[in-house]
A and B are shown apart, each in its own frame.
Chain A
Amino acid sequence: MSWREAFLRQARSENEIRRLLNKPNVKYSHRLHYLQMVTEKLAKAGLANPSDTDSPKTSHNAFVRYLQTLKGRAFTQRQLGYASRKAYRKFIDSILPQAHEIERLAPSVAAMTQPNPEYPWRDPRTGDISAPADYDFPELDPLRSDMLKIEKMIEQLLVVLT
Chain B
Amino acid sequence: MSSKRKMIEKQAKYLAAENRKNDPDIKKVYWFPDEAEVRLVEVHTTIPKSLDGEIRPFYFRPDPAGRLPAPSGIALIRPDEAKKLPPPTDWGGWDIAEELK
Contacts and interface: CB of A to CB of B under 8 A. Distances in A.
A61 B48 contact: yes
B58 A66 contact: yes
B56 A49 contact: no
Contacts, number: 74
* Main DSSP-derived SS at the B contact region: mixed
Interface string B70-89: 01011110000000000000
Interface stretch (A19-27, A72-80, A113-121, A124-132): A72-80
A53 interface: no
Given A58-B52, A68-B47, A75-B68, A48 B22 contact: no
B56 A89 contact: no
Interface residues of A, number: 30
B19 A49 contact: no
A77 B18 CA distance: 12
Contacts of A69: 58, 74-76
A71 B45 CA distance: 14
A72 B60 CA distance: 12
Contact of B71 (A50, A58, A59, A61): A50
Given A49-B73, A51-B71, A68-B76, A85 B22 contact: yes
Contacts of A61: 48, 51
Closest 8 CB pairs of A and B: A72-B19, A60-B51, A46-B58, A72-B23, A49-B59, A59-B56, A72-B22, A75-B66
